[in-house]
Amino acid sequence: MRLQLRGGEVTVRALIRHPMAIGGRLKSGVVIAAHFITEVTCTHNGTVVMRAHWGPGIAKNPYLSFVVGHASSGDELIIRWIDNIGESDEFKTKI
């Protein structure tokens, strides 16, 4: 996750490592299960400032960028995600 603070606004850039598989069936008949992120949430000092609902149409290892206002040095940002099979992860950082 990379952050850039300017004039009370922080630009958040993150690369989320995830396979984002849409699932399906191979010609051989082997079934590939779907595995994709369904929700991404960002909190700024405990307050939700961004929530995204995703599906299987998002590319592998998705890149995410957004701006959070009223930010200052020392504030905490947390990005959390959960996928369709119940796996999750979070990234914490200070501005």
**pLDDT digit string (tens) for 12-49?**
999 999 999 999 999 999 998 999 999 999 999 999 99
The pLDDT, as a whole number, for residue 7 is 94
The pLDDT, as a whole number, for residue 82 is 98
Percent of the chain whose pLDDT exceeds 70: 100
Query: Which residues fall within 8 angstroms of residue 73, CB to CB, at 6 or more apart?
Result: 5, 95
Q: Could you give the domains of the chain?
A: 2-94 (2.60.40.10)
CA–CA distance, 88 with 78 (Å, rounded to integer): 13
CB count, 10 Å around CB of 91?
Answer: 13
3-state secondary structure at position 62:
coil
What tens digit of pLDDT does each residue of 62-77 get? Answer: 999 999 999 999 999 9
pTM given for the model:
0.88
The pLDDT, as a whole number, for residue 79 is 98
